[in-house]
Structure 1
Amino acid sequence: MTVKHCFVVLLACLTLSACGGVDPDSPLGQRKAIFKQMLKTSEELGGMLRGRVPFDGPRFAEAAVQLDALAHEPWKHFPQVKESEQTSATDAVWQNQARFQALARELEAATGELVIASQVQPYQASNLAPAVQKVEDTCSACHKAFRNH
């Protein structure tokens, strides 16, 4: 194969790999970005409590505030009508909006409780574990009901 042919094949591969991506400015792209940030933050919190990451009380409290702020954001990026087949959300999100919104409010409440728990000093992982567990359980309940795994 000549250099020209290799270049054409490479260009075609790059062009095709760009197709089908999610527009980061779309509702789907925006909520995916928020959910990724939520996952990263919650993994840090859980890691501190489970010993995978050194426990740092002030950092834990800061991350709890970040998670609480993020927990209020993705819901506004779910349009009234399903916009894409690329979503991990099931059709139930749009068919059972009342339950979906109720679980969203439960998550917001759970992260708010986590913020309150994370402000109690001295920082003790044992005091924070139930609040983190509640957040994780709330996330899990929503995923079971409304997410294609």
Structure 2
Amino acid sequence: MVLVAGLTLVACGGVDPDSPLGQRKAIFKQMLKTSEDTGGMLRGRLPFDGARFAEGAVRLDALSHEPWKHFPAVKEAEHTSAKDAVWQRQARFQELARALEARTGELVLATQQSQLSPANMIAPMNNVEDACDACHKEFRNH
């Protein structure tokens, strides 16, 4: 029965949600959704709501610490968007992960120390997005 379920997942192109790949994909999707909402408030796609923006910053910060533990020491056999470099250049990968965590922490601090307005949140949010982009450029197959 387990074999049939596994083959069904593979045949459908699905990913086991409990696998490391499934876990990190779910986290990255949550990060993307949260980032799109907070960034959307700064770009006028959504109305700016300071309290919701601050909540999004806290959520993004919490999520930014999660996906890294779901990258196993050896690359899994499942299809992944992660380049082999993730496993070949672990020190650099971890460096960029810590940079993202630092930027999301700075975003949270900005929401606590600055007047919550789009103008005041653009720079710290751009820093978060730049940290994401830096890692994607080196370690993700697009």
Q: TM-score, normalised by structure 2?
A: 0.91
Among 65, 83, 89, the residue aligned to 1:96? 89
Q: Is the 8 A contact 2:15 2:22 kept in 1?
A: yes
> Does the alignment pair 1:137 with 2:124?
no
What CA distance in whole angstroms lies between the structure 1 residues aligned with 2:52 and 2:43? 15
Q: Where does structure 1 lack aligned partners over 5 or more consecutive residues?
A: 1-14
Cα distance in 2 for partners of 1:142, 1:26 equals: 22
2:51 alignment partner, SS class: helix
Equivalence for 1:59? 52
Q: Name the aligned partner's letter for residue 91 of structure 1.
A: D
C-alpha distance in 1 between matches for 2:59 and 2:98: 17
Deviation at 1:19, TM superposition (A): 3.5
- Partner Cα separation in structure 1 for residue 9 and residue 69 of structure 2: 31
Change (3 A) 1:23 1:133: same
- Residue identity in the other structure for 2:129: E
Task: Quote how far apart the aligned CAs of 1:124 are.
Answer: 1.3
| Aligned residue identity for 1:61 | A
Q: Deviations over 1:17-49 (max 9, x none)?
A: 853310000000000000000000000011000
Instruction: Verify: 1:34 aligned to 2:6, yes or no.
Output: no
Partner of 1:116: 109
1:71: Cα distance to partner? 0.1
Could you say which residue in structure 2 is the equivalent of 1:20?
13
- What residue is the counterpart of 2:73 in the other structure? 80
The answer to whether the 8 Å contact 2:9/2:15 transfers is no
Q: Which has the larger radius of gyration?
A: 1
Moved >2 Å (runs of 4+): 15-20
Structure 1 residue 148, shift from structure 2 partner: 0.3
- Gapped regions of structure 2 (runs ≥ 5): 1-7
Identity of aligned residues (%): 74
SS where residue 117 of structure 1 aligns? Answer: helix
Name the Cα RMSD after superposition.
1.5
